[in-house]
Structure formats: C-alpha cells, structure tokens
Chain A
Amino acid sequence: MAFQRAHLGHGIGLRSKHYGRFLEEPPAVGWIEAISENFIGVGGRPLAVLEKARRDFPVVLHGVSLSIGSVDPLDREHLAGLRDLADRIEPAYVSDHLCWGSHRGRYLHDLLPLPCTEEALQHVAERVQEVQDALGRQILLENVSSYVAFRGSTMPEWEFVAGVAERADCGILLDINNVYVSARNHGFDARAYLAAIPPDRVGQFHLAGHSDRGTYLFDTHDAPVADAVWDLYAAAVRRFGRVPALIEWDEHVPALERLVEESRAAATIEARELAAREGKAA
C-alpha cells in the first residue's frame, strides 16, 4: 500500500482566540488544522466556526487523545465521534500522535513517549490498522517531543516511527520542532532522524516554538519558531520536497496576523529550498 500526500500549502491552527476573525473573514493561509477533541459532539460557536473554516479552507483534524500506544483498549466511543466529525468536515487528513496518554481508563492528557521496542511497534501498528478500519481512511501519526528515554528501547526513535508507518500503512506527520527538541534532550543528530524517515510516508510538517529550560528544551508552542528549527525545516524541505506545513502556537497565542506572518516565513523557506533543489537536479 502507499500513502497519498495532499498538497495544501502552509496553514495555521484554529484557536478559540481567533474564532471571531475566522467568522468575519478568512485569513490568507492555505489550510487550517483543528484539534479534533474540541469539536467532537459539540455545537454552538465552536462548530459554526469550524464549518465556516471548512467552507473557506481545506481542514485537517488533529487529535490529541487517540492514545494509540496505550495498552488500554481503544476508546470506541471516541472513535465513533471522530468518524462522525470526519464525515461532517471531510478533512484533508485525520492525524494524532505516536504516543500513549491513557492508562486503566484514566486520561492523562499528555503525549507520553513509548519505549522503542518491537513489542510496542507491533502493538501500535495493529491498533493503527483498527483505527483506520473504524474511520475508513488512513491516518497520520506525529512524532512527539520527549524528556525521558526508556532503557528497554531496542531501536532509535526514527526507526520506530518509520517502522510503524510502514507496518500499519499510515502517514507520518513529521513535527520538525519535536525532532529538534528531542534531539537536544537525548543527544542525537536531528538530521540523521530526517534521513531515516521515508519520504513517501510524510504527509505533513508541524513547526512550533519551544522553551529552553537550561538542562532541557520544552515543547511549549508559545513562541515563534526558533532559528535552529527553521534551519531543520529547510533541511526537511530538501529531503521531503513540498509538504503541507503548519504553524502551531497554543499558548500566549498572538494576533492572527502574526500567525499568518509565521506561515509566510515557512512558505518563503520552502520556495527557496525547492528552487535550490530543482537547480541542483537540473
């Protein structure tokens, strides 16, 4: 099987601070990403904003609670709600995170890392297939930032990410900031990570800001994209080509214009790197 990349351009996240603006006039971006859980089973203003946004743009539904790596059973009610929402919104993609976040029926509401083992890889791959069957579509899984490493891991994270995508036949949402943050926190080479990810599985990029807490980097999504992450994004464009890229900014959310500006910065880097790539190829 294969994964079909959508061509969406550069997008931003739909955040409640900007709901009024989205209802008034669509911002100058290529697409938007909405957090699935915020719209499952709801009505009122949030749903009206999402439906208006969908009339104006392609939309990606991005989840945070699928808990694909948990040993808990899959939450069938949540999946049914997600399917209903996807049927209604007809998103370009449905995505979530390669992590776990629930345990014995309790949701921890965090993106917790998995040990990179054959057992975890097989477990996740089987569950991705179940989810894809339930939704009737392929999903994308995003690499998460992490602050701990498991002693039991038997392969590097990039091999785990690529292995899940190939075995489960799903896409990869490659979060460039998360690669950078985890590389710094665990002392690996971010570019080696990119080099190990199969280009035909990558459907989307995330770009975001992080915080330097002295002894580690923290994935805060509360600041502009750092220069080092822009550099890594440039390297990613050279490797993966034209990939829909999204600016994530979830805390201290700035004015909509600032987000659009950040999105344009990404578009400029992409254009530069694609031109360089084509020049090289010619």
Chain B
Amino acid sequence: MTLAEAQDLFAALVTGERPVDPAAREACLAGDAELSAGERARIYSEMYLFRLVEALREDYPLLARLLGDEGFFALCQGYVHTHPSRNPSLARLGRELPGFLRERPTARPDLPDLAALEWARSEAFVAADAVPLGETALADLGADAASARLRLVPSVRLLSLEHDADALWADLEASRQPGPPRRRATSLLVWRKGFDVFHSEVSAEELAALSAVGNGGTLGEACEAFADLPDPTRTALDALASWSGEGILAAAHN
C-alpha cells in the first residue's frame, strides 16, 4: 500500500465521510489482543469530531449555550460535514456557520444573526492591528475633508441582520433567559478598541456610510448616505466624531 493509499483510507476512517471496507482497514492497520484495528481507528474518529466541536464552541459560546450540548453537537456535526476545515488554523473553522444556519430551519429564526454577531466579534478580537487616526486628524483635514479617503481599521465588521441579535446576545451574555425572537432589520457595527471588542447598533444610513469608507470612497461620498435625514450635516459630523473617538478610522496609506 502506498503512502497516498494509506492516507486516503485513514482519512476516510477518521472523518467518516465514506464507508471503508473492513477488509481494507484490516489490511492497512494492525490490531492486537487489547484493541482491534477498528477500535484503534475509532480513537481518531472520535477525537476528530470532538476537537472540531470544541473549536466551534470557543467561537460560538452563546449559540452553544442556547442550543445545549446535544443540539450544538448535532449542529456542528452537520456543519463540518458540509464545510470541512480548509485552513491550518482551527480558528477559521466556524467562518461559514452563520450562512450554514441561514440555509436550514433552526430552533429560533434569530440563530443565524446571533451566529453572525458572535463570529464578527471573534474575528475582531484577533484582527490585525492598525494605528487609528489621531484625535485631531479629522479637524486637521479642514477644507480637504470631503475629498479625503480613509479606511476602516481591520477589526471593523459591519452586519445587516434581520433580527435584534443584540438583545439576544445581551440576554445570553448576562445568563438571562432570552426573550422571544424579535424580527427587526438591525445594523450592527463591531470593532476592537485596545484589546476589547465592542458592538453597537447603528442606523442603516450610518452602516451605509461606513461601508462607503471601507470600500475606498471619500468622506464626502460616505456622508451622502445621510442626505435624506433631517439634519444631514450635523448627523454626518456626529458620526465622524464618533468613529474617530472609537478609533475605527485609519489613514488610507497605513
């Protein structure tokens, strides 16, 4: 048996993705009086799933709490079958879980949104560092502000959700019994300041403005998102001051 054939067979035993003929297994692996070849292979297959589920639990602690051990295990089992790990880091495994949840009926309709928020917070925690704009940087731009192009620091995540995932997140985080799902279009900004991750609900207009900055638009173009609001200039200035204060803007060339 070649190395490639041995790995093909052993990977099938570990992942359970396809049945393995017991005769082929016995021809590849040795058993003894203590443990048969099948029992020895099972040590690996049990650990495979256990390890992946525990990694997902680290990124989705509140989803896991809401579903309970059995429910979370069943979800993860289906997930890793459809989305096996493609990255050397286990921390990337859960990337597709919110989308996976959206594609199927779930215990609560707001679970995909909760998962999206938890994943965004996980990503923000380890996102690359960046030097945010200084306190006076926006004022220093003066008349050039409208044509200035900035960028969002790498930890920023912008979420457009269908439910009030913030309320569900807050209930679970505080170990309160979560209220019923509340269907409501919700825009969330997730970011890291120092070592701490925050999220905050923002208006759809503010989310659009942040998206414009993130996509390389000028500050003037970004602020067009506020054009239909009662006091667009004031709203835009407040938003810019808030973004600057939270350290989510950085110079484009950084």
Q: Are A37 and B88 in contact (CB under 8 A)?
A: yes
* Chain B, range 1-35, C-beta contacts under 8 Å to A: 1-4, 6-8, 10-11, 14-15, 27-30, 32, 34-35
Residues of the A chain whose Cβ atoms lie less than 8 Å from the Cβ of B39: 215
Interface mask (B61-101 → A, CB under 8 Å = 1, otherwise 0): 00000000000000000000000111111110000000000
Q: Return chain B residues, CB-CB under 8 Å to A129.
A: none
Beyond A106-B85, A147-B40, whether A43 also contacts B127 by CB under 8 A is yes
- Inter-subunit contact B41/A115 (CB<8 Å): no
Among B4, B10, B86, B192, which residue has its beta carbon within 8 angstroms of that of A112?
B10
B129 within 8 A of A: yes
- Known contacts A43-B154, A108-B48; A119/B3 CB under 8 A: yes
Chain A contacts for B87, CB-based, 8 A = 107
Residue of B nearest to A46 (CB): B126
A216 touches B126 (CB 8 A): no
User: Which chain A residues lie closer than 8 Å to B86 at the CB level?
Assistant: 105-107
Q: Which of B3, B44, B195 contacts A71 (CB 8 A)?
A: B3
Contacts of A47 in B (CB 8 A): 129
Total interface residues on A, CB under 8 Å, equals 46
A 61-100 to B, binary, CB cutoff 8 A, 1 in contact else 0: 0000111011100010010000000000000000000001
Would you call A109 and B90 a contact (CB within 8 A)? yes
- When distances are taken between beta carbons in the complex, the residues of chain A under 8 Å from B7 are 70-71, 100, 103, 112
Task: Given A100-B7, A108-B48, A115-B6, answer yes or no on A43-B34 (Cβ-Cβ < 8 Å).
Answer: no
Q: Interface SS of chain B: helix, strand, loop or mixed? A: helix
Q: What's the Cα separation between A215 and B91 when bound, in Å?
A: 33
B125 at interface, CB cutoff 8 A: yes
The reply on A148 being an interface residue by CB < 8 A is yes
What is the CA–CA distance of A70 and B7 in the complex, to the nearest angstrom? 8
Give the residues in chain B near A110, CB-CB below 8 Å.
Answer: 14, 44, 47-48, 51
Indicate if the CB atoms of B28 and A151 lie closer than 8 Å.
yes
List 17 extra interface pairs beyond A70-B7, A105-B86, A112-B14, CB under 8 A. A37-B88, A37-B91, A43-B154, A44-B127, A44-B155, A107-B85, A107-B88, A108-B48, A109-B90, A110-B51, A112-B10, A120-B3, A148-B29, A149-B29, A151-B27, A151-B28, A151-B30
